């Protein structure tokens, strides 16, 4: 497999051995039709040099990449909608490979001297010992939805897994929540760890403090190396901080993950596993993504509470080998960290510099108040688009298609709070994206329209056009994650 010289295999989770995963084989699919390859993400781990045929061999048939031991289904448990389930684990996916990102990719981040350990994880690659009654498959629509969610979140500066590959696999699937039979696919995602809170929960459930210790050192050394060996509360603090940051960025993006179970949150605070996600059209705290979330447990504004609840479950696992009081202190850092991160996330999305805590908080409060007062007419994404860069965008916003929304008391308060802040990298406004009348949103009707073209006419051009526009917005915003 002609990987680039920058490809550096480092299969560390595999080294943990059979207590943590099971060797599995990919399904033998009747077809492998390449539908999407993310060469920008692939270049970050030295895989962009694969030809399409090699790509399909690697990500449709799962011929092992150099230096990789072969796929394993990861073991984990988790709370699903607050119910403990000891029957989970990778039931339709596996960990296919681990490798270091390239020095060039690492240099784009703050700690650029540390190339991160990255996973290739699959969805829809076949049955495993953890499949229960499931078929181990992913619908093509589910794959397309994950591609779209990851691209939108990345553009909006949310720490997220990326969709690396989507290959249609030629099977007919039966699903209760899609018109069936429906088409099948296998997705490969590039992510910064698939070690979940539920990975720890399994070790605690099995009463294996030794496994908890092993996982702690695995996670500390590979993902939180600033934490000293043996400092378990320090690790809890690091995971709490990363989770608070992620949650704040979801909120600023208007994103509802939909299924915030403990098996869907990982130890690096990188968002992953996009199923029934939605983006808010307008301010609506009760907006729920999953049709099966009857109580609204994971509604938009309840996501901070959901993440905190999940963190308390992780802390209770760590308490098996550490001091509960110190872990509780670490957990209690979540609230303040979240508030801090929410300020930073709103400043980032509005393209302005910090002016100190009080002024920054005024801006968050005024933005939320304007969104709330504005009702359905004041769509979430356009507000951030119109006012990006603060006063530098005044003329554009006030002569644009939403000019008439920008008046009244809530708007005056917002404008006052915003204008206090200096634009951050004002030259970004020169990007042609800001000449458009409408920003890129990702509302359900558009997602369904993109899918319909594929379902009805096998027309992939709306998807590809959307991805190209999202890439343009990503380079226009230039958010740091
Ligand atoms: P999710 O809600 O996608 O995070 O999945 C929850 C659990 O159900 C995980 O253990 C999955 O591996 C498993 N699962 C979901 N769909 C399937 C399927 N079609 N076949 C087998 N396992 C599945
Ligand atoms: Mg999951």
* pLDDT surpassing 80 at residue 244: yes
Any idea which residues carry the catalytic annotation? Answer: 263
Which pLDDT score, from 0 to 100, does residue 480 have?
83
185 and 211 housed in the same domain: no
Q: What is the pLDDT of residues 76-91, one digit of tens each?
A: 999 999 999 999 999 9
Mutate to test the pocket of ligand 1, among 77, 89, 92, 175 (most ligand atoms within 8 A of CB): 92
Neighbours of ion ligand 2 (CB under 5 A): 264, 273
CB 285 less than 6 A from any atom of ligand 1: no
pLDDT value at residue 108: 87
Residue 213 lies in a domain: yes
Nearest CA to ligand 1 atom 12: 91
Same domain, 146 and 37: yes
Q: Which residue matches tokens 């990007």? A: 431
* Final residue in a domain of this structure, among 134, 163, 194: 194
Express as a percent the part of the chain with pLDDT over 90: 98
| Cβ 66 vs Cβ 9: under 8 Å | yes
| 126 conformational bin, left if phi > 0, alpha if psi -120 to 50, beta if neither | left
| Residue 3 counted as domain residue | no
Q: Which atom of ligand 1 approaches the CA of 91 most closely?
A: 12
Q: Which ligand is nearest to the CA of 197?
A: 2
How many C-beta atoms surround the C-beta of residue 172 within 10 A? 10
Answer yes or no: is the C-beta of 259 below 6 A from any ligand 1 atom. Answer: yes
Q: Would 410 be classed as within a structural domain?
A: no
Q: What are phi and psi of 228, to 5 degrees?
A: -70, 145
The total number of structural domains in the chain stands at 2
Which residue's C-alpha comes closest to atom 2 of ligand 1?
A: 259
Could you tell me if residue 436 is inside a domain?
no
Ligand 1: distance of its center to the CA of 251 in Å? 26
Residues 127, 17 within the same domain: yes
Sequence-ordered list of residues with C-beta below 8 angstroms from that of 108, at least 6 positions apart, any chain: none
Residues 206 and 170 in one domain: no
- Ligand 1 pocket check for 273: Cβ under 6 Å: yes
Ligand 2 centroid, distance to 80 Cα (angstroms): 10
* Domain presence at residue 78: yes
**pLDDT for 167 beyond 90:** yes
Token match 């996330």: residue? 345
Please say if the pLDDT value at position 458 is more than 90: yes
Residue 232 is predicted with a pLDDT of 98
58 C-alpha vs ligand 2 centroid, how far in Å? Answer: 23
Whole-number pLDDT of residue 154: 98
Residues 140 and 175 in one domain: yes
In this structure, the answer to whether residues 24 and 157 fall within a common structural domain is yes
- Spatial separation of the C-alpha atoms in residues 348 and 367, rounded to whole Å: 13
What residues form DSSP beta bridges with 97?
120
Is 134 a pocket residue for ligand 1 (Cβ < 6 Å)?
yes
Q: Which of 286, 309, 342 is the last residue of a domain?
A: 342
If asked whether residues 281 and 174 sit together in one domain, one would say no
What pLDDT does 1 receive? 73
Q: Residues 221, 111: one domain?
A: no
Atom of ligand 1 nearest to the CA of 137: 19
Using alpha carbons, list the distances in angstroms from residue 353 to 360, 366, 420: 9, 16, 10
For the Cβ of 275 lying below 6 angstroms from any atom of ligand 1, the answer is: yes
Q: Does residue 366 lie within any of the structural domains? A: no
Q: What distance in angstroms lies between residue 327's CA and the mean position of ligand 1's atoms? A: 31
Residue 481 pLDDT grade (very low, low, confident, very high; cuts 50, 70, 90): confident
Q: Does residue 92's CB lie within 6 angstroms of at least one atom of ligand 1? A: yes
- The residue-averaged pLDDT of 462-472 equals 98
For 304, the 3-state DSSP assignment is helix
The reply to whether 93 and 122 lie within a common domain is: yes
The least confident of 84-93, 105-114, 225-234, 465-474 is: 105-114
At residue 234 the predicted structure's pLDDT band, cuts being 50, 70 and 90, is very high
What's the gap in Å between 212 CA and the centre of ligand 1?
24
Domain containing residue 117: 13-194
Q: Mean pLDDT over residues 105-116, rounded?
A: 88
State whether 164 and 241 are in the same domain: no
Ligand 1 proximity of 439 Cβ (cutoff 6 Å) = no
pLDDT digits (tens, 9 = 90+) for 376-429: 999 999 999 999 999 999 999 999 999 999 999 999 999 999 999 999 999 999
Sequence-separated (6 or more) residues with CB below 8 Å from residue 11: 67, 68, 69, 97, 98
Residue 104 has pLDDT above 90, yes or no: yes
Is there a contact between 183 and 1 (Cβ–Cβ < 8 Å)?
Answer: no
CA-nearest of 320, 331, 43, 360 to 201 is 320
135 lines ligand 1 (CB under 6 A): yes
Q: How far is the CA of 89 from the centre of ligand 2 (A)?
A: 9
**414-444 tens-digit pLDDT:** 999 999 999 999 999 999 999 999 999 999 9
Q: Does ligand 1 come within 6 angstroms of the Cβ of 137?
A: yes
Q: Which atom of ligand 1 is nearest to the CA of 90?
A: 12
Same structural domain, 18 and 121: yes
Q: Is the pLDDT of residue 110 over 90?
A: no
Domain end (from 342, 363, 397): 342
pTM of the model: 0.98
Give, for 140, the enclosing helix (H) or strand (E): helix 140-155
Residue 147 · residue 139 · CB < 8 Å: no
Please work out whether the CB of residue 129 comes within 6 Å of at least one atom of ligand 1.
no
Out of 79, 131, 169, 276, mutate this one to test ligand 1's pocket (max ligand atoms within 8 Å of CB): namely 131
Could you list the beta-strand ranges (E) of 137-271: 138-139, 162-173, 182-191, 255-256
Q: Are residues 174 and 208 in the same domain?
A: no
Query: Which ligand has its closest atom nearest to the C-alpha of 271?
Result: 2
* Angular region, 117: left φ>0, alpha ψ -120 to 50, beta rest: beta
Ligand 1 nearest-atom number relative to CA 261: 4
Please return the burial class of 261, using the count of CB atoms within 10 Å of its CB with bins 0-12, 13-18 and 19+: buried
Measured in Å, residue 244 CA sits from the centre of ligand 1 at 26
**Is there a domain that residue 148 lies in?**
yes
**Residue 421 is assigned to a structural domain of this protein:** no
Give the pLDDT of residue 113: 82
Separation between Cα atoms, residue 455 and residue 443, nearest integer Å: 19
Q: 121 alpha carbon to ligand 2 midpoint, in Å?
A: 11
Atom of ligand 1 nearest to the CA of 88: 10
Q: What would the pLDDT profile of 289-337 be if each residue is shown by its tens digit?
A: 999 999 999 999 999 999 999 999 999 999 999 999 999 999 999 999 9
Across the range 119-142, mean pLDDT stands at: 98
Residue 365 CA to residue 377 CA, distance in Å, equals 19
Q: Count helices and strands (H / E) in the chain.
A: 17, 13
């Amino acid at each position: 497999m002609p990987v680039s010289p920058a490809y550096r295999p480092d299969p560390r989770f595999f080294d943990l051995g059979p207590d943590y995963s099971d060797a599995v084989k990919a399904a033998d699919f009747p077809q492998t039709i390449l539908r999407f390859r993310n060469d920008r993400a692939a270049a970050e781990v030295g895989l962009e040099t694969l030809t399409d045929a090699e790509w399909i061999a690697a990500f449709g048939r799962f011929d092992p990449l150099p230096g990789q031991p072969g796929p394993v289904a990861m073991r984990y448990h988790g709370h699903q909608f607050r119910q403990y389930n000891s029957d989970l684990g990778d039931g339709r996916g596996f960990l296919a490979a681990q490798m270091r990102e390239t020095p060039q990719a690492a240099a784009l981040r703050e700690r650029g001297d540390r190339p991160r350990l990255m996973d290739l994880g699959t969805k829809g690659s076949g049955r495993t010992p953890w499949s229960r009654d499931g078929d181990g498959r992913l619908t093509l629509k589910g794959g397309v939805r994950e591609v779209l969610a990851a691209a939108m979140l990345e553009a909006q500066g949310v720490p997220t897994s990326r969709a690396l590959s989507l290959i249609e696999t030629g099977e007919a699937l039966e699903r209760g929540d899609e018109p069936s039979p429906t088409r099948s696919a296998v997705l490969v995602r590039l992510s910064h760890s698939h070690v979940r809170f539920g990975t720890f929960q399994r070790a605690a459930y099995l009463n294996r403090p030794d496994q908890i210790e092993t996982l702690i050192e695995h996670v500390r050394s590979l993902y939180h190396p600033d934490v000293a060996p043996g400092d378990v509360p320090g690790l809890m603090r690091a995971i709490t901080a990363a989770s608070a940051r992620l949650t704040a960025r979801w909120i600023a993006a208007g994103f509802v993950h939909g299924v915030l179970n403990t098996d869907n949150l990982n130890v690096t605070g990188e968002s992953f596993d996009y199923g029934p996600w939605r983006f808010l059209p307008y301010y609506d705290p009760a907006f729920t993504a999953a049709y099966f979330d009857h109580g609204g447990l994971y509604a938009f504004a309840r996501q901070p509470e959901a993440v905190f609840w999940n963190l308390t479950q992780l802390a209770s696992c760590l308490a098996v080998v550490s001091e509960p009081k110190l872990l509780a202190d670490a957990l209690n850092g979540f609230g303040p960290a979240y508030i801090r991160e929410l300020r930073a996330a709103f400043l980032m999305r509005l393209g302005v510099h910090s002016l100190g805590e009080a002024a920054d908080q005024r801006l968050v409060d005024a933005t939320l108040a304007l969104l709330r007062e504005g009702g359905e007419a004041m769509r979430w994404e356009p507000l951030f688009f119109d006012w990006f860069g603060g006063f530098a965008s005044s003329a554009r916003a006030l002569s644009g298609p939403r000019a008439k929304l920008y008046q009244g008391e809530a708007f005056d308060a917002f404008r006052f709070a915003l204008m206090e802040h200096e634009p951050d990298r004002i030259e970004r406004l020169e990007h042609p994206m800001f000449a458009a009348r409408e920003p890129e949103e990702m509302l359900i009707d558009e997602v369904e329209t993109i899918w319909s073209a594929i379902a009805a006419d096998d027309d992939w051009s709306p998807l590809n056009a959307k991805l190209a526009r999202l890439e343009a917005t990503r380079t226009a915003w230039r958010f740091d994650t």
